[in-house]
Structures are given as structure tokens and as C-alpha cells.
């Protein structure tokens, strides 16, 4: 349908999982995409599979210098930027008592500081690009249902993802106040069938066992597929969502309804 024809996107954490699927769907809808990841070779390989309208770039989202370089790379390769997806993130389990200060800071550095840096440094180029071509831009921050519903065993992750949720609203209002044609929204997924599920596997437990166990915590009885998030992302960064900003899309199988 080419819903993103003419758009230029940067997706972080795109060597695998949700980031990769979003990049694939964006490219399939006509966008040119820069896939960034701390796993630089993985991002380059993933981009090569997508085709000539994609490129990969090594990128640690906790580094301000690397954010500046990634934004500059999007401009160098594609001439500007319309879409930023802040997807890179980690989830480290631990209660408030079990979590070390080092672990707390590490989770926040990736999951929250990385989103702040991305928004801060992408907005000027998105503004420049959209004002030059008369189009509109969008920032999409991947939070989590854990940023809305807390767990006693995920203190740092809950805090960081809740921060992403509210930062998104602040960015949306800032862009609106500047009369920029830039929206900012967040997506809040629950368990998804991505490589991160490997972290849940114990000896003698299959991935299907893990999926079934997690699915029992979801009203719909199953966990999500990366496409469930990717298609939601396509909508929110497309011109179809031009009047949607500061909003949250829960892709959680009904968990938030309980």
C-alpha cells in the first residue's frame, strides 16, 4: 500500500526482535530505513536482507556522541529524517531490594536515557526535513505494559518504562507548541514471541512451554507476535495518524483491561 512512501526512518534496536520487524514493515510500506543496534554487524546484516532502501549502523543508545553520529548518518545516506522509533531496551529482573544501584542505572541508561537522547537529537533533523518537503514527522517510543502495570520483581524496568510513557507526552506537547508537524506516541506491548524469550528458558523447558506459561497471564490466552506491534507502529508513524499525539497504544492481549 506504500503507506510510508517517501518517508525516512531510523529504528533503534533493529538487529532482531520488534525493531527488526518494524524496520521490515516500514520498508515494505515504502520507507527508507536506517537500522541501528549496539550489535552493529547484526544491524548491517538485517538491513542487507531488507534491500537497497535500508542500511545498518552500530549504535549504543546510551552514548550522546553515537546518537549524534546516527542522526548524521540518516541525513548522509537518505537526505533527512521523518520517523524515529526508540525501540532499544533491556529488562533486568529484580525487586527494589534486590536491584543494585549499578543495575538500576544501567536499565535506565538504555531504556529511558536512550529515548531522551533520541528525541533530543532527532527533532531538529525531523523539523528540518518536514519543513523542507511539507510532510510530517513522528517519534514512536516503545514502552511496555510494564510501564503502566507494575510488578514487585521488575523495579528498574517498571520505572524506566513508566518514564518513557510520560516523556512521550512531554515531547508531544513540546513539538505541538513549536508548531512542528511532528507527533510523538508510545506503544505498550506485553510478552512477544521474540528472541528475548530465550532468557525465560530453563533446563528442560522448551520455548513452546515458555510461550504457553506466559500466555496464561494474558486474557486472550496467547502471547503476541512481532507483527502485532509492527502494524501498530506503521499506523502511528503514517500520515493516517496525523491527529494522534501524546497517545498510548496498548498491545497487550487485554492485560490493561483487567
- By annotation, the residues acting in catalysis are 157
| Residue 103: other Cβ atoms inside 10 A | 15
Cell of 165: 510513557
Element (H, E) at 183: strand 182-189
Per-residue CA distances from 45 to 13, 78, 87, 242 (Å) = 13, 19, 18, 33
Are the beta carbons of 117 and 61 closer than 8 angstroms? yes
- Cβ burial of 154 (10 Å; 0-12, 13-18, 19+) is buried
**Strands ordered across the beta sheet of 8-11:** 54-58, 32-37, 8-11, 83-86, 137-142, 182-189, 248-251
- DSSP code of residue 181: S
For residues 91 and 107, what is the distance between their CA atoms, to the nearest angstrom? 7
Beta-strand pair 8-11/32-37: parallel
Q: Which of 221, 95, 115, 197 has its CA nearest to residue 160?
A: 115
- DSSP code of residue 252: S
Residues found in the chain: 258
Amino acid at each position: 500500500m506504500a503507506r510510508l512512501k517517501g518517508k525516512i526512518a531510523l529504528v533503534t534496536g533493529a538487529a532482531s526482535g520488534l525493531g527488526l520487524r518494524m524496520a521490515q514493515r516500514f520498508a515494505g510500506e515504502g520507507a527508507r530505513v536506517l537500522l541501528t543496534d549496539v550489535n552493529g554487524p547484526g544491524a548491517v546484516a538485517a538491513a542487507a536482507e531488507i534491500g537497497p532502501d535500508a542500511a545498518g549502523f552500530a549504535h549504543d543508545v546510551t552514548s550522546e556522541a553515537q546518537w549524534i553520529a546516527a542522526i548524521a548518518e540518516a541525513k548522509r545516506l537518505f537526505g533527512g529524517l521523518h520517523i524515529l522509533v526508540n525501540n532499544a531496551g533491556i529488562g533486568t529482573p529484580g525487586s527494589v531490594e534486590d536491584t543494585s544501584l549499578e543495575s538500576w542505572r544501567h536499565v535506565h541508561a538504555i531504556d529511558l536515557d536512550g529515548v531522551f537522547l533520541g528525541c533530543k537529537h532527532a527533532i531538529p533533523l525531523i523539523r528540518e526535513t518536514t519543513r523542507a518537503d511539507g510532510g510530517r514527522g513522528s517519534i514512536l517510543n516503545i514502552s511496555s505494559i510494564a510501564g503502566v502495570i507494575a510488578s514487585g520483581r521488575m523495579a528498574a524496568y517498571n520505572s524506566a518504562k513508566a518514564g518513557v510513557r510520560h516523556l512521550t507526552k512531554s515531547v508531544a506537547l513540546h513539538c505541538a507548541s513549536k508548531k512542528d508537524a511532528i507527533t510523538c506516541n508510545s506503544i505498550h506491548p506485553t510478552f512477544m514471541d521474540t528472541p528475548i524469550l530465550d532468557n525465560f528458558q530453563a533446563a528442560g523447558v522448551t520455548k513452546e512451554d515458555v510461550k504457553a506459561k506466559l500466555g496464561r497471564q494474558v486474557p486472550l490466552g496467547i502471547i503476541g507476535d512481532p507483527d502485532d506491534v509492527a502494524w501498530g507502529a506503521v499506523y502511528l508513524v503514517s500520515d493516517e495518524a496525523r491527529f494522534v499525539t501524546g497517545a498510548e497504544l496498548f498491545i497487550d492481549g487485554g492485560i490493561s483491561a483487567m
